[in-house]
Structures are given as structure tokens and as C-alpha cells.
Chain A
């Protein structure tokens, strides 16, 4: 045992003089850092602030007695995510146990003792598994996914709106914003990508200009501009801040989606188009049923990465006064009673963001490997 450890460390830590030097400098520093953080996290930190303010972090100032609406939205989101997962990874019975474990972990970590919350959580996990199973066992259902996503989004809006759209907040707002942007920017991005290689030079120029301009200005600007422009352009609509934020995000990310899709379109061999044309298919049919499916297949991993980008830039909605997850955390810290809990709250925020982000990255990597295996 000790012999193997010594052999391992000689090989991996002290293999060369330079490595040995690095090890001598770095290892004590890392150990000291780990000791300090553990010491702080286990003895000094007052974690009770997290369960106390969990509701604000999750749904912002959404009224507590309307929480069932938020839970319904979570359940719809879970169904959509599960259905999306099922398109690529087949559901197996062993996954059910794993999901049950996830539910138990979520229940313990959030420290909730409320029966209703536990039930809602269980429902979300069950619906996730259901969506996953449906799309993995019934291939025909995958075609309906895009339509189902739009219906799901409309349902979420319908359920969440009555208490007031201005009350949306917390992690739920970040996730909703990400979801809406990811789903709506996909068809727009596809249209822009086709527009950029259209036969008509005018369409080409317009689409290229749109994509390039959007890609060279910061997102925060686009969001802010849409926010101030909407009331000027359409005062009678009186759009809520949340909706204006979503429009800004969608307009911005459509340009990025368009570039990813375009790279996918370029990856489709010319022979595919030529073969379809020689069969007498119309241009529209060629693009819809020959080129696009192959292109989308290639760009699924970068598009999932794009979802991570959207989620990671969602906090920028602070500029239009929305209370997303990060802003909710800052709101808690603004309370003088909790003024000294800066590190606790930020640790929780960082950890949550890191967990969600790693999950998305993991799925993207898995997808990449999965698709690489599937292609010749």
C-alpha cells in the first residue's frame, strides 16, 4: 500500500527535477488553502442563512401562497428537459433509482420538512423521468418536441402570470429566461443561418449584417436597448420587464445560434444536396428534410454549450431591474441583519451555478462523444 503510494508519487509528483520543484511549492499551498476553506466551512460559517432565505433565492419575491404556480412551472420545465434528454440517451430502469437518489439528495440538501414541497419535488422528478421515457421509447414523439416546448412555455407563462409578471425572480427566473431564450432563438437562428447563404444577395447582406452586429456588441447593451426601445416603439403593448429582457436575450443569442447552425450547414457534404436535387426535390424540401437534420446533428453539442452561455449571462438582467438568482443573493446581503454573511451567500451562489453549469457541460461532452460514435 505504502509502496504503491510512494511509487505513484515518485512517478506523478517527482518525476523530473522541475516537477519536484513545482510539487514542493504547490502542494503546501494547496493543502493550506483546503485546510483554511474546510476550517471556515465547517466551524466558522453560519450556514443557517441559506435555509432561511431559500425561498427568496429560488423564486425571489413571488408570493409564498402562490408557490404552487412556481412548482407547476418547475414540473413543466422538468418534463421538457427530460423529453430533450430522451432524444439522445435512452432511458433505462437503472436511471429510476438514480433519480430517486437525486430527489432524496435535493430534499436533504434544501432541508425542507414541508410535505407539500417534498411532494412537488417528487412530482418534478417523476415527470422528468416520464418525459425521458416517452421520447426514448417512442421515437415518433421526438418530432413533436419543438411544438411541445412552445406549448410548455406558453403554459408556464399562463400559470406564472396571474400574481404579476413583475414578481418573477430567483433561480426560477434565471432558468425560465435560459429556457425561453434557448428555445425561441433556435428557429430564428436557423432562419438566419439559411438567410446568410440565400440565393438572394439582399437577404444574405441583411442576415450577415444582423449576425455580425449582434456578435460585436455586448449582451448587456442589447438587453438594455430593447428595454428602453420597446416603450418608445410600442407604448400600447406595455410589455413587462421580464418579457423585454427575454426579447433582448433572444435577439442576441439568435445570432450566435445562427453561426453554430451555419457551421453545421457547411459540414453537410455537397453531394447530399446534389443527390436530392437530382431526385427532383424542391429547394425547400432539400433544406428541410436533407440538409437541416444532418446539420443539427453536428451542432447539438455546441448548441448545448450555448445554453450554458445563456444561463451564465442570465444575471445581466440586473441592468433592467430584474431579481434573478445572483440579485436575490445580493438582496439578502443588503439586509443589515445578514451583512456579515457575504462569504456564505456567495459560496452557495457559486456552488449552485457551478453545479448547473457542470451538469450542462457534462451533457454537452457526453453528447459529443455519443454523436462522434454514431457518425461514420
Chain B
């Protein structure tokens, strides 16, 4: 009896002890949490205080109101959002009488312009290089390998500077520019033919244009191969009809001795930045593509061959869908780092976000507020890219087989 009782008491006290120990631990855990948060808050407050004091010494106040002041400086190229006619914004060239906020927008637009073009071009070039590294042709294989190796083992900045000072600025002057099918290549920039709308607002022409846009959207968004073929065909036919009837024309650039007009132009700075980033990013993408094709089990090729699939069908239906699945997240990371790399444009004077931030910081002295804006812009750009890649990933998973 007594033994039982002592046992029970011992058990009870032990469970009490455990409970109190747990309580103590939880309390300690919470206390440490609170202490860390307090320390972090204190650190941030100290930081803010030091910054405010430091700025006060220079006679600057931390505020974002400078954003609505007139800029007073010009930007060599780029469009900004303007709210002149009502709520609907329009893209207009930046001029010195616009606000500083609009200067920031110009920078963001320029950054996005280069980033989007570079993403498309480097994906194409990178995939070609990556497949080239696995080619059965010895010359092509080694050429791709050494190109990729060279680009990956040298700094992007020297590539950029080289493209600008040693290549683009050594293009022929406009008077003696090289011309290919309406594309003009010169020191002063590149000029491309651009589509122009001659149809006015006639209902037939507008209907055709809308149908064409719908077909292209269907081509991109619809998953089924048959519908995509129909959409592609419809888009090509509609484009042909519009070009033939003259509702849609091509505006070719016309060059005179010192200037060119018409068409779309690309400044030498943008051309050099685009070249450098596309070539650089393409070699990283080539490595990703090569790696993921290599990583596919050989059994996939053999199984397809044993089923009697042709090589084209094997590549299209067996290999590429799997490669795409593996490759997409890495592509996303590469796209984000590519977008960040556009900040190097400041080295050759391309007015992207960071370059314009530098000008604004110099002109107004509000460098710290600018930091916040630039940082948030880059964060948002990164999130948008990773969001889009995640969306594409989900779509491919739905269509493709299970992992």
C-alpha cells in the first residue's frame, strides 16, 4: 500500500516537474523571442535615428515630397507614364519639365524594356547553345563549349564595356551604315522597320486586328495542339491580308547623312547592353539546358526508340516536356539575375533605373529615399518574374505527366 502511494506521489510530482519544466522552457523561449524582437526594433530605430541625424547635418530632411518636384534634367531616351488626358495613362517621352517620380518611371520602363528583350533572346540563343554542346558534330560541340566557358569565366562588366567601346562604337557612321532588309546598323544606333496602322477606325479593319490579336492570344494560352495550329494559321492569314490590303503597313527607317527617321530605333547604349546581357545570360542558360538534358535517364530515349517513335517525336513528346519541367525554375533564377544585371547599364550611360537613381540622388540629395524606391522596384520585378515562372510551371505540370 505504502509503496503504491509513494509511487503514485512520485509520478505525480514528476509529471508536475515536467510540466513546470515545459512552462519554464516556453517562458524562456518567449522571453528570448521578445528580447530578439526588441533588439531588432532598437537596432532599426538606432539606424533610423543615425540616418536622420546624418541627413540633418547635411541639411536634408527625409521625405518623399521631392518626388513631385520638376526634374530639371533630361534623360537621353525612354518613355514615362503621363496622366495628361484623364485617368488613362499614356507613354510619352520624358522631358525635363516632368516630375521626379516620372523620371523613376522612365528608369523602370527602360529596365523592363531591356529585361524583356533579353529574356526572350537569351532563352532562344541559350537553348541553341545548350543543344549545340550536345551536338554530334565535333566542331559545333567544341565551339559552343568554348563560347560558354569563355563568357562564364569573364566578368559581365568587361564584356559590356567591350561590346560598347570596341564593337558598337566601331560600327560604321550613319552615312555609311550597313543595311539589311530595312534594318540599319550604325554607330548612332540600330533602326528597325516598325508596323504602322493605316486602317483608321473602319469596322472591317478593326475587326481583323482584334481577330488577329485573339488568334495570337489563343496560340499562347491554349494548351491543345490542334487549336494552337488553327490559331497560328489564322494569325498568319489575317496578318497577310492586313499587309496586302494596306491596313497594316511597315514603316521603314529612312537614313540621311546625320540622322534617321521612321521605324523603331535602338540607341547604341541599349544595343550594347542588350548584346552583353543576352550573350552572358545565354551561356548560363546553355549550361542549364545541357545539364538537364544530360540528367535525363538514358532509358527515356531507349524506351521511346523501342516503341518505334521517330527521333522528332521522341524529342518533341518525350524529351522536351521533361526538360522544360526541370529547367523552368533555373530559368526563372537566371531571368531574375539577368534583370538585376541591367543595372550595369550605368557603366555605359544607358538610362536604366539605377542610372536615373544616381542622377536624381546627385541632383536632389535625396539618395536615401531613392534607395527605398529602387529597392522596392527591384523586389517587385523579382517577384513578378518568379510569379510568372511559377505560373508557367503550374501550367506545364497540368498538361504534362506526373513528376
Q: For chain A, what secondary structure do more than half of its interface residues adopt (helix, strand, loop), or is it mixed? A: helix
Q: A319 and B346 in contact (CB under 8 A), knowing A202-B33, A216-B382, A353-B154?
A: yes
Q: CB distance A235 to B57 under 8 Å?
A: yes
Per the 8 Å Cβ criterion, residues 143-179 of B in contact with A are: 143, 149-150, 152-158, 161-162, 165-166
Q: Are B336 and A216 in contact (CB under 8 A)?
A: yes
CA of A46 to CA of B339, assembled, Å: 38
Residues of B contacting A343 in the complex (Cβ-Cβ under 8 angstroms): 166
* B158 pairs with A326, CB closer than 8 A: yes
- CB pair B375–A221 under 8 Å, yes or no, is yes
Cβ-defined contact, B367 with A220, below 8 A: no
Q: Does B197 touch A at the CB level, under 8 Å?
A: no
Is there contact, CB below 8 Å, between B149 and A213? no
Interface residues of B in 18-67 (CB under 8 A from A): 29, 32-33, 36-37, 40, 47, 50-51, 54-55, 57-58
Question: Within 8 Å CB of B152, what residues of A?
Answer: 357, 361
Whether A213 contacts B375 by the Cβ 8 Å rule is yes
The one of A19, A199, A225, A342 that contacts B371, using a Cβ cutoff of 8 Å: A225
Q: Chain B contacts of A232 at CB under 8 A? A: 50-51, 54-55, 58, 368
Q: Is the CB of A22 within 8 A of B135?
A: yes
In contact, A350 and B158 (Cβ under 8 angstroms): yes
Given contacts A30-B143, A233-B50, A312-B156, A346 and B137 within 8 Å (CB-CB): no
Q: Does B138 contact A (CB under 8 A)?
A: yes
Q: Which of A9-17, A77-85, A154-162, A291-299 contacts B (4 or more CB under 8 A)?
A: A9-17
Tell whether A23 pairs with B137 under 8 Å between CB atoms, given A220-B346, A350-B154: yes
Asked whether B202 is an interface residue with its Cβ less than 8 Å from the other chain, the reply is no
Alpha-carbon distance A16/B347, docked complex (angstroms): 46
| A200 and B40 alpha carbons, distance in the complex (Å) | 13
A225 to B374, CA, bound (A): 11
Asked if B165 and A342 sit within 8 Å, CB to CB, the answer is yes
A233 to B341, CA, bound (A): 28
| Choice from B136, B150, B354 contacting A220 with Cβ under 8 Å | B354
Instruction: Say whether B324 faces chain A, with CB atoms less than 8 Å apart.
Output: no
> Is B374's CB under 8 angstroms from A200's CB?
no
Assess A354 versus B150: contact at CB under 8 Å? Given A218-B343, A232-B51, A315-B155: yes
User: Is A358 a contact of B382 with CB atoms below 8 Å?
Assistant: no
Query: What 1/0 mask marks residues of chain A from 185 to 226 whose CB sits below 8 Å from any chain B CB?
Result: 000000000000001111100100000010011111100110
Q: A200-B29, A217-B375, A353-B153 are known contacts. Are A231 and B54 too (CB-CB below 8 A)?
A: yes
Q: Are B158 and A349 in contact (CB under 8 A)?
A: yes
Knowing A16-B136, A30-B143, A217-B340, say if A315 contacts B367 (CB, 8 Å). no
Chain A residues near B303: list those with CB within 8 A: none
**Are B139 and A27 within 8 A (Cβ)?**
yes
- Measured between beta carbons, the chain B residues less than 8 angstroms from A350 are 154, 158, 162
B residues 67-123 in Cβ contact with A at 8 Å:
none
* Of A27, A231, A354, the contact of B154 (CB 8 Å cutoff): A354
Residues of chain A within 8 A of B217, CB atoms compared: none
The smallest beta-carbon distance between A234 and chain B, in angstroms, is 8
Question: Are B155 and A313 neighbours in the complex by a CB distance under 8 Å?
Answer: yes
Q: Is B378 an interface residue (CB 8 A)?
A: yes
Which residues on the A side are within 8 Å of B51 (C-beta)?
A: 229, 232-233
CB–CB A199/B29 < 8 A: yes
Q: Does B379 reach chain A (CB closer than 8 Å)? A: yes
Q: With A342-B165, A342-B166, A346-B166 as given contacts, are A19 and B155 in contact (CB-CB < 8 Å)?
A: no
* Residues in A whose Cβ lies below 8 Å from that of B154: 312, 350, 353-354, 357
- Nearest-Cβ distance from residue A366 to partner chain B, whole angstroms: 15
- A216 & B166 in contact (Cβ 8 Å cutoff): no
A216: contacting residue among B36, B140, B158, B378, CB under 8 A: B378
Interface of B is mostly: helix
Nearest CB in chain B: distance from A352 CB, A: 9
Is A124 at the interface (CB under 8 A from chain B)? no
- In the bound assembly, the distance between CA atoms of A229 and B149 in angstroms comes to 37
Decide if B344 is an interface residue (CB 8 Å cutoff): yes
Indicate whether A318 reaches chain B with its CB closer than 8 angstroms: yes
B162/A346 in contact, CB under 8 A: yes
Q: Which residues of chain A come closer than 8 Å to B37, judged between CB atoms?
A: 202
Q: Which of A202, A213, A234, A358 contacts B379 (CB 8 A)?
A: A213
Residue of B nearest to A31 (CB): B139
Min Cβ gap B187→A in Å is: 15
State how many angstroms separate the Cβ of B381 from the closest Cβ of chain A.
8
Give every chain B residue within 8 A of A27 (Cβ-Cβ): 139
Q: Chain A residues near B358: list those with CB within 8 A.
A: 224
Contact call B347/A318, Cβ cutoff below 8 A: yes
Q: Does A316 contact B (CB under 8 A)?
A: yes
Kindly provide the distance from the CB of A170 to the nearest chain B CB, expressed in whole angstroms.
14
CA of A228 to CA of B149, assembled, Å:
36
What is the CA–CA distance of A270 and B224 in the complex, to the nearest angstrom? 44
Task: Kindly state whether residue A26 has any CB partner on chain B within 8 Å.
Answer: yes
Report A1-43 residues with CB < 8 Å from chain B CB. Answer: 12-13, 15-16, 19, 22-23, 26-27, 30
- Point out the residues of chain B lying under 8 angstroms from A346, CB to CB: 158, 162, 166
Contact B166 A353 (CB under 8 A): no
List residues of chain B with CB within 8 A of the CB of A326: 155, 157-158, 161
Closest chain-B Cβ to A319's Cβ sits at a distance in Å of 7
> B350: shortest Cβ distance to chain A, in Å?
13
Report yes or no: B378 in contact with A353, Cβ–Cβ below 8 A. Answer: no
- Nearest A residue to B339, CB-CB: A218
**B334, chain A: closest CB distance, angstroms:** 13
Interchain CB contact (< 8 A) of A203 among B36, B57, B143: B36
A322 at the interface (CB under 8 A from B): no
Contacts A/B (CB < 8 Å), 13 sampled: A26-B140, A26-B143, A30-B139, A216-B378, A219-B340, A221-B354, A224-B358, A228-B367, A235-B57, A318-B347, A326-B161, A346-B158, A350-B154
Interface residues, chain A, with chain B CB atoms under 8 Å away: 12-13, 15-16, 19, 22-23, 26-27, 30, 199-203, 206, 213, 216-221, 224-225, 228-229, 231-235, 308, 311-316, 318-319, 326, 330, 342-343, 346, 349-350, 353-354, 357-358, 360-361
Which 6 pairs, one residue from A and one from B, show the smallest C-beta to C-beta distance?
Answer: A357-B153, A232-B54, A12-B138, A216-B382, A218-B343, A218-B340
Task: Please give 11 more A-B residue pairs, beta carbons under 8 A apart, in addition to A314-B155, A315-B155, A346-B158.
Answer: A12-B138, A13-B138, A13-B139, A200-B32, A221-B343, A229-B51, A233-B47, A326-B158, A354-B154, A357-B153, A361-B153
